[in-house]
Amino acid sequence: MKALELIGKGEEMHGRAYIKSDKEEASSIIKKLKENGFDHFVMLSCVDWIDNNEFELVYHLWSYEHKEHVMVSIILPRDNPSMSSMHELFPQIETYEREIHEMYGVDFEGNNRLTPFMLEGWHDMPPMRKDFDSKKFAEDVFDSIPEIKEEEDEGI
Amino acid sequence: MKEYELFIGPQHPGVTGNMMYHLWVDGDIVTKAECNVGYLHRGFEKLMESRGWMQNVPLVCRICVPEPDVNEMAYAMAVEQLMDWEVPDRASYIRVIVLELARIAAYLMSIGSYAGSLGIYTLPQWTLGDRDYILDIFEQLTGARVYHIYIWPGGVRWDMPEGLPDLIEKTLSYIEKRLKLYDDVFFRNRVFFDRAAGIGKIPKNRAIEWGVTGPNLRACGYGYDIRKLEPYAAYGDMDFEVVKYPELGDFEVISDGCDAYTRIVVRRLEIDQSISMVRQALKKMPEGEHILKHPNWLKWKAPAGYAFSRVESSKGEYGYFVVSDGSSKPVRIHVRGPSYTHGINVAETILKGANIADVSQILFSLDVCPPDIER
Amino acid sequence: MSILKPLKAWKHLAKKPHTIRYPAQEHHDMEGKKLPTDKLRGFHSNDLERCIGCRMCGQICMNDAITYEEIPELEGKKGKNIRPVVDYGRCCFCGLCTDICPTKSLHLTPNFKLVSTDKHDYKFMPTQLVTKNEDYTVELDKVIFDADEYKEKF
């Protein structure tokens, strides 16, 4: 595959190139891919591997020229994760970083717009982390609302 | 002159759903726009992590309301990649029929609401009425009108019932007849020409870098369509030409592309394309099985790995990133919605310098759909 | 571009509307077939004799809409004496429970009309009572919706 030849490492997974990288190297890899035809930034995902105490950031790029999809993966520690922002390469990365900052608590240095995105007035743990118990949260929030007393049926 | 702030949405007919645009306005020119979402966040991605592989199928379709089938398709493709399954031929053709009918329905809705944003309220009434005839087909094919839960990993849920191809053909010829009327009333209307040409321009040289996809990208002159680039289902066997600026068929080229006019005309031409593709699929559909045998749903385990699937929706590129660790539940499902880039970064940039009156038509021409921004 | 062609829309003034007075008027598709057809996913029906109370439907249901109730009269027959009770406030009519049913006793029927002001009415045990009905209304004592009464208003 073209991307694997360019970078010189990685493996093929279900027809997609998958490249393991690290925090320092990642931006130069993505820059190199962008200059070599991988010009469409698809998305930035975050996976919480709670058993290994790690976050995995996956940068997805697609090349219209080579018709190839490449995933660049970076492992971050789960405590105080931080990564340098890449919004200068592709402007829409800014929004993905905003979401991941809010949902996983990953800090992106250089992104000035890490403001609340979907949640409002949220002070709890970032909700997409695996140790956030959404069932307990729902019970705490919604069960504390007093039940509306149904009036006697007077024939509506 | 002093700048003032204006809020469009979340309950406003000029915004494309439950989202809000915060505008800073000087006179009647927008100087800064900020998208504010969060009114529709349902936590689907978190919920999918706690459900089995089959239990997620009724959930994924709820991510996009006007065109739910692309989500089922993308999810099914991702699971098939993980399971290493080959879908039966007949199922691939039925999938094309369902996806293309859904695309027609979604385009009718988006063209109608765009016309509404220009003040031509006849068209939304007509398009939504005609869309209902497609929902009638879906009701008989899939058992539901909007959320079909029909495209399953490994094939489609039921085989096509007898007699349905006749109904589909009848509906398609009806829609073709109606499209001629739409052309006269809307697509050759002076109001549309004067108001849409040159409005909401995406700079052509930056369109790909900004993540613009789908009809919006084709309106910029790039002939990129995932159905051609990376054919899924039976699109490899279909005969079609990608619609792109400046090849607009019978429609006049009145601007240099990338604007609201071209985006809507590209959508109109793709309805014709979808109609022809449904006909081809009906003609070429082979006999045979419609679904592979599933493992026990309660004990279904997908092999560990990373899968990414992409489909072309009426709004742009839909992508599903599915991570499995070999257990009966996914570790992570991340949905790439086309509106994520169109509605936030692209809209915020191209709204700068627009008139207040043009804000809603720019948003409708980009076909921003908030459910896939927030999932 | 044309200035006069958009005026074609005026000829629709003389045409009948697309909309129907649902539910007083029946809904038909383009070929004149009455909708909903039997394929529509509505309320469940369950053959209590064939059902073996295996709890599979409750396990696949992702909305936890299915609970179980004991029926003492079924004691001593094949399987367990529990039968599913569906909460239609939670049910999303996906039909996974019917596909997983090993005896195929559980079905979805095209019945979908149920109107009540009491939320407990939406939780009931599906039986064969709700299978076939001309008007596609659920036959329950508590149902308030009456299509005939509604028709008279038009």
For residue C38, pLDDT beyond 60: yes
Give tens-digit pLDDT for B344-366.
889 999 998 888 888 888 989 98
Q: 3.30.470.20, 3.30.70.930, 3.20.20.60, 3.30.70.3270: which CATH number matches C39-148?
A: 3.30.70.3270
Q: Residue B223 has what pLDDT? A: 87
How many domains does the structure of chain B reveal? Answer: 1
List chain C domain ranges: 39-148
Write down the pLDDT at residue A152. 59
Within chain B, which residues score under 70 in pLDDT?
Answer: 1
- A148 CB within 8 Å of a chain C CB: no
B166 CB neighbours in chain C (<8 A) are 31
Q: Which chain A positions have a beta carbon within 8 Å of C117's beta carbon?
A: 153, 156
Q: pLDDT band at A151, cuts 50/70/90?
A: low
By mean pLDDT, which of A78-87, B38-47, B164-173, C125-134 is the weakest? C125-134
Q: Is B339 helix (H, G, I), strand (E, B) or coil?
A: helix
- Determine the pLDDT at residue C137: 52
First and final CA of chain A: distance in angstroms?
69
Q: Is the ipTM of this complex over 0.90?
A: no
Predicted confidence at residue B275, as pLDDT, reads 93
Does residue C57 register a pLDDT over 50? yes
Cα A12 to chain center, whole Å?
22
Mean local confidence (pLDDT), C9-24: 80
CB spacing of A45 vs B82 below 8 angstroms:
no
Query: What is residue B174's predicted lDDT score, i.e. its pLDDT?
Result: 92
pLDDT at C82 over 80: yes
* C116 → chain A, closest CA residue: A156
CATH, domain A2-143, list 3.30.460.80, 3.40.50.1820, 1.10.10.10, 3.40.50.300: 3.30.460.80
Q: Which residues of A touch C118 (CB under 8 A)?
A: 153
Give the domain CATH number at B87.
Answer: 1.10.645.10
Contacts of A153 in chain C (CB under 8 A): 117-118
Contact of A54 with chain B, judged by CB distance below 8 Å, is answered with: no
Percent of chain C whose pLDDT exceeds 90: 1
C73 pLDDT more than 90: no
Query: Which residue has better confidence, B49 or C136?
Result: B49
**Do the bridges between strand B155-156 and strand B305-312 make them parallel or antiparallel, or are there none, so unpaired?**
unpaired
Q: Which sequence spans correspond to the domains of chain A?
A: 2-143
Alpha carbons C92 and B62: distance in angstroms, whole number: 11
Residue B151 has a CB neighbour count (10 Å cut-off) of 30
pLDDT digits (tens, 9 = 90+) for A104-149: 988 888 888 888 888 888 888 888 888 888 888 888 888 877 777 6
Question: Which residues span the domain enclosing B346?
Answer: 4-374
Nearest-angstrom CA–CA distance, B290 and B160: 9
* Integer Cα distance of B142 and B298 in angstroms: 23
Chain C positions touching B140 (Cβ under 8 A) are: 29, 33, 35, 37, 39
How close A150 gets to chain B, by Cα (Å)?
28
What per-residue confidence (pLDDT) applies to B320?
92
- Residues in chain C within 8 Å Cβ distance of B132: 18
pLDDT category, C131, cuts 50, 70, 90? very low
Name which of B186-195, C36-45, C76-85, C98-107 the model is least confident about. Answer: C76-85
Average pLDDT estimate for A55-60: 91
Helix, strand, coil shares of chain A, percent, nearest 5, are: 25, 30, 45
Tokens of A39: 């010009």
Spatial distance between the Cα atoms of A151 and C53, rounded to a whole number of angstroms: 37
Interface of C with A (CB under 8 A): 117-118
Residues of B with CB under 8 A from a CB of C: 51-52, 54-55, 57-59, 122, 129, 132-133, 136-137, 139-144, 147, 149, 161, 166-167, 170-171, 174, 181, 184-186, 188-190, 193, 252, 297-298
Check CB contact under 8 Å for B336 and A64: no
